[in-house]
Each structure stands twice: as C-alpha cells, then as structure tokens.
Amino acid sequence: MEDERLIDKIRKGNSQAFDLLFKKYYQSLVHYIHSFSQDIYLAEDVVQQMFVNLWINREDLKIKKSVKGYLYLVSYSSFLNYDKKVKRRQGLLEEFKKEVISDYATEDSEVLNQRINRLKQLIETLPPNCQEILKLNKFGGLKYDEIAKRMNISKKTVESQMRIAFKKIRNEFDNDKLILVFMRSFFKVTKN
C-alpha cells in the first residue's frame, strides 16, 4: 500500500515521493537488468532512463497491479528496446563495413599489395617489444592482460606500446582515409 501512496504523490509532482521510490527500487532493478545485459553500466543507464521516463510521464501513470511488478516490467521492456536499437545499429555498421571493405577489395590489386607491403615494412621498423606486442594482439588474438603475463610486463606497458604502434601506423598512412578499415581486414586475414 505504501508504494501506491508514493505513486499518487508522484502523479501530483511530489519529488520527495519520487526519490523514495527511486531509492527503494533502483539497486534491485539494476541487478535485475544486469542479469540480462551482463553490463552494469548499461543496466544502470536503462534503469535511470526508466525512472526519468516515469517522472516525465507521471501524470499519465496507470498501474493496475503492484508498483514493484510495474517497475520490473517497464525496466525489462526498456532493456529490450535498447537492445533492439543496438542490434539495429550494429547491423547497419556491419553493412557499412562490408560495403567499404567490398569497395576496398575491388581496388586495384597492385595498390592493395603496395599498401600491405608498406604496412608490413612499417611493423618491422617498430621497436622489438612494440612489434611483438602488436603481433601477439593482432595476429595472435591475445588480450592485453594475456600479453602482459606472457611477456612479464604490466598491462599499462602493453597499452602504451599499442598506442605507439598505432600512432606510427596512422602517421605513415596519414593521407589514406580508409586505413582503419584496411588494417582491420589486414589483421583479420593475416591472423587466420
């Protein structure tokens, strides 16, 4: 019954009642959404946005059964909507990547071979540790912490060496607008 009174007050614009409802359910809703998303930040965003929408639409709130059940249902629906949007965006991004890579693949094979050779030569000019770290990550598929353990160095050192490698690559291919797409496809092809 206490939740229903809070909702009545919220409908009338009582922000203290809203704060009480928020504090009462926020953490449990975040844990609930986190169980689906496996991303705590995403879960927090979804629940916060659900509460923002609840406040914005407070005058039109129609809760037929329990407030708790309503909040869980709306949070879950918000998560599903967010998930659909993300998947749609990822689908569009994948389509774009395929299109760019396809355009890139139809490029003159001579130019493509020159680009590949240029990138290989540049990798060979990197300092030995930097070169090894780049190869372990991009060709070996190892994560930064795995590389750090294997080479007995800190993860920060791995991150720093990767930044150095990519900075040199970007500088070398400064005028090449599609270098990032090319590098992705190059590293994927070479890795397998």
Over the stretch 30-64, which tens digit does the pLDDT of each residue have?
A: 999 898 888 888 889 889 999 998 899 888 888 87
Instruction: Output the pLDDT for position 190.
Output: 41
Contact yes or no for 82/46 (Cβ under 8 A)? yes
Residue 172 CB contacts under 8 Å (≥ 6 apart), including other chains: 118, 122
| For residue 4, pLDDT beyond 80 | yes
Q: How confident is the model at residue 183 (pLDDT cuts 50, 70, 90)?
A: low
Instruction: Output the pLDDT for position 100.
Output: 64
- What is the dotted CATH code of the domain comprising 2-89? 1.10.1740.10
Q: How far is CA 37 from the centre of its chain?
A: 12
Cα angle value 54/57/60 (rounded, 5°): 115
Contact yes or no for 116/187 (Cβ under 8 A)? no
Contact yes or no for 106/154 (Cβ under 8 A)? no
CA distance 76 to 152: 44
User: Left, alpha or beta for 108 (phi > 0: left; psi -120 to 50: alpha)?
Assistant: beta
Contact yes or no for 78/46 (Cβ under 8 A)? yes
CA distance 178 to 170: 11
Instruction: Output the pLDDT for position 22.
Output: 92
Residue ranges of domains in the chain: 2-89, 108-191
User: Which candidate, 65, 50, 62, 64, places its Cα nearest to that of 18?
Assistant: 50
Q: How far is CA 20 from CA 5, 10, 14, 50, in A?
A: 11, 10, 10, 15
- What is the dotted CATH code of the domain comprising 108-191? 1.10.10.10
**Between residues 108 and 7, the one the model is more confident about:** 7
| pLDDT (average), residues 25-31 | 92
For the packed helices 40-56 and 67-105, what is the interaxial angle rounded to 10 degrees?
A: 120
Share of the chain above pLDDT 90, in %: 23
Instruction: Output the pLDDT for position 184.
Output: 55
What is the phi/psi pair of residue 130, to 5°? Answer: -60, -45
Instruction: Output the pLDDT for position 171.
Output: 82
